[in-house]
């Protein structure tokens, strides 16, 4: 291995055994590994965050597959280049030494519609195998026609355990380069934990930080260079906040965030949100928690909260962190100030308890499906009253619970927000049952 070039390039995996993270795709039984071993990789989209190994996988394919790999730039390549590559690929497929042509396009979402469309006939016919890497959701960034001809593989950010293995590999590699460091290189535990946190699943970011920190580390009296926390912070150029993603502190911050929104403290909610961002946490657990809050603590008092949280998460993936974090902040503010109700949460818990308790009760005949004449003869669907035949689309006196189980009211809306209207609707339906007119 050459000693020249960035560490991230020097440590680029040569085979699947060297690849860290995303074992479900790249491990012994991983689908990408098995396809490569079978020399049968399809056209595909590799979708994942920066530094998760998309380009490294293509490098492994180049080493593993009996194919020619051509790298295209989404910035400079045009339709003419694509047609020329396809023409050359057709020529490659004839003769004794026929070879498959793989075209790799990094950041394929930067290709415009005409460029993407230019690939269609060649991907369809198999003249080329197209591999596109993207950090953007393919459903939004890739033409539907092209996407339907490609397999999408979703890669996750490198997890903490895999990132620590990568750090160890990097330290061992640098320690073995006497002309580079002239002494063994190690890293303290708190610096390693901080580095994994700072990298936030990005292997390239991690390796670049190690490379700079290694140059700053001074040999101690035992002749070892130790990367301490202070050296790491000097290398990355910023303070790395204490934030253990696997420990209690992580969940304490999420808890404070959740309880601030539940308590309608908009400013505290924004503070805890910003605190997690400063600590370099991924927005995924934050957005998941927001969706939980929208259902658990807001519910039908403001049904729009769920959609606003989903939209904010989607915007983050569409436009990136700078604008995306602001969109999530907007959702945080909305949820903090939204009317609160845990009626859905309580109703669902109660319904689940009864579902466990009465799980052997048969479905009443009038509620059963009757897709066949035999089912109809057995009485399925008999005496079912179709609600839409009534003026209020409501059938008075019909029991929808199993026989032997009492009709139970689980959902009790609170007099806040939209649930006021739901409360009125429930009261109106009850009045019909009590003798009102439809």
Does residue 227 fall inside a structural domain?
yes
135 and 32 within one domain: yes
333 and 373 within one domain: no
Last residue of a domain, one of 236, 270, 289: 236
pLDDT the model gives residue 283: 87
Q: For residues 155 and 137, what is the distance between their CA atoms, to the nearest angstrom?
A: 12
The arrangement of strands across the sheet holding 67-73 comes to 67-73, 100-106, 128-134, 44-47, 151-154
CATH of the domain at 102: 3.40.50.300
Per-residue pLDDT in tens (0 to 9) along the chain, 438 residues = 345 678 888 889 889 998 998 999 998 899 999 998 888 888 999 998 888 999 999 889 888 887 788 888 777 777 887 888 888 777 776 655 667 788 898 888 888 888 888 888 888 888 888 999 998 888 888 888 899 999 999 998 888 889 999 999 998 888 887 655 556 888 888 888 888 878 878 899 999 999 898 888 887 777 788 888 888 888 887 666 544 444 456 678 889 999 999 999 999 999 999 988 887 667 888 999 999 999 999 999 999 999 999 999 999 988 888 889 999 999 999 999 999 999 999 999 999 999 988 888 889 998 899 888 888 888 898 889 899 998 889 989 899 999 888 889 999 999 999 999 999 999 999 998 887 554
256 and 223 within one domain: no
> How far is C-alpha 88 from the geometric centre of its chain's CA atoms?
38
Residue of 319, 324, 245 lying closest to 287 (CA atoms): 324
Residue 213 in tokens: 């920190």
Q: How many domains does one find in the chain?
A: 4
Does residue 259 fall inside a structural domain?
yes
Q: What is the DSSP letter of 129?
A: E
Helix axes 189-199, 160-175, angle to 10 degrees: 120
**Would you mind telling me the total number of residues written for the chain in this entry?**
438
257 and 225 within one domain: no
CATH of the domain at 285: 1.20.272.10
Does residue 347 fall inside a structural domain?
no
Does residue 164 fall inside a structural domain?
yes
94 and 125 within one domain: yes
Residue of 274, 269, 239 lying closest to 255 (CA atoms): 269
Q: For residues 94 and 70, what is the distance between their CA atoms, to the nearest angstrom?
A: 18
Range of the domain at 208: 160-236
Give the residues across from 227 on adjacent strands: 187
Last residue of a domain, one of 193, 208, 236: 236
pTM of the model: 0.57
CATH of the domain at 377: 1.10.3710
Q: For residues 58 and 21, what is the distance between their CA atoms, to the nearest angstrom?
A: 15
Does residue 75 fall inside a structural domain?
yes
User: With contact defined as beta carbons under 8 Å apart, do 141 and 114 qualify?
Assistant: no
pLDDT the model gives residue 1: 37
pLDDT the model gives residue 295: 95
User: With contact defined as beta carbons under 8 Å apart, do 375 and 368 qualify?
Assistant: yes
124 and 75 within one domain: yes
Going from the C-alpha of 255 to that of each of 286, 290, 306, the distances in angstroms are: 11, 11, 19
Residue 418 in tokens: 């939209």
387 and 279 within one domain: no
Q: For residues 272 and 243, what is the distance between their CA atoms, to the nearest angstrom?
A: 13
221: how many CB neighbours lie within 10 A of its CB? Answer: 5
CATH of the domain at 198: 1.10.8.60
Last residue of a domain, one of 129, 154, 179: 154
Name the H helices within 226-342: 229-236, 248-262, 266-278, 283-293, 304-319, 321-337
Helix axes 283-293, 304-319, angle to 10 degrees: 170
């Amino acid at each position: 291995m050459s000693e020249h070039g960035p560490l991230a390039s020097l440590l680029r995996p040569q085979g699947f055994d060297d690849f860290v993270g995303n074992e479900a795709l790249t491990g012994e039984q991983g689908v990408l590994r098995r396809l490569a071993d079978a020399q049968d990789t399809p056209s595909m989209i590799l979708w994942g965050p920066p530094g998760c190994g998309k380009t490294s996988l293509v490098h492994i394919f180049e080493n593993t597959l009996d194919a020619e790999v051509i790298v295209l730039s989404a910035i400079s390549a045009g339709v003419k280049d694509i047609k020329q590559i396809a023409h050359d690929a057709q020529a490659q497929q004839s003769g004794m030494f026929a070879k498959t042509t793989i075209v790799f396009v990094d950041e394929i979402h930067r290709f415009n519609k005409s460029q993407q469309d230019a690939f269609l006939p060649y991907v369809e016919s198999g003249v080329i195998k197209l591999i596109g890497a993207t950090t953007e959701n393919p459903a939004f960034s890739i033409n539907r026609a092209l996407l339907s001809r490609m397999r999408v593989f979703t890669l996750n950010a490198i997890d903490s355990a895999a990132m620590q293995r990568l750090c160890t590999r990097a330290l061992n590699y640098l320690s073995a380069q006497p002309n580079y460091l002239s002494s063994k290189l190690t890293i303290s535990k708190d610096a390693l934990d901080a580095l994994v946190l700072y990298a936030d699943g990005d292997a390239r970011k991690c390796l670049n930080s190690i490379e700079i920190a290694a140059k700053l580390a001074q040999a101690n009296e035992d002749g070892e260079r130790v990367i301490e926390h202070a050296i790491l912070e000097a290398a990355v150029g910023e303070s790395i906040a204490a934030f253990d993603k696997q420990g209690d502190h992580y969940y304490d911050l999420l808890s404070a965030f959740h309880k601030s929104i539940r308590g309608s403290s908009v400013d505290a909610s924004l503070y805890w949100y910003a605190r997690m961002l400063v600590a370099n946490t991924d927005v995924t657990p934050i957005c998941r928690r927001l969706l939980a809050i929208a259902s658990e603590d807001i519910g039908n008092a403001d049904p729009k909260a769920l959609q606003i949280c989903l939209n904010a998460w989607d915007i983050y993936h569409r436009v990136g962190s700078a604008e995306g974090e602001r969109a999530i902040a907007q959702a945080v503010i909305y949820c903090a100030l939204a009317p609160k109700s845990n009626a859905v949460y309580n109703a669902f818990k109660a319904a689940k308890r009864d579902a466990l308790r009465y799980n052997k009760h048969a479905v009443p005949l009038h509620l059963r499906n009757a897709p066949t004449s035999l089912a109809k003869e057995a009485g399925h669907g008999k005496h079912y009253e179709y609600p839409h035949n009534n003026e209020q689309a409501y059938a008075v006196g019909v029991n929808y619970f199993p026989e032997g189980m009492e009709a139970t009211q689980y959902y009790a809306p609170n007099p806040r927000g939209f649930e006021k209207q739901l409360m009125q609707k429930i009261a109106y339906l009850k009045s019909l049952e009590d003798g009102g007119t439809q």
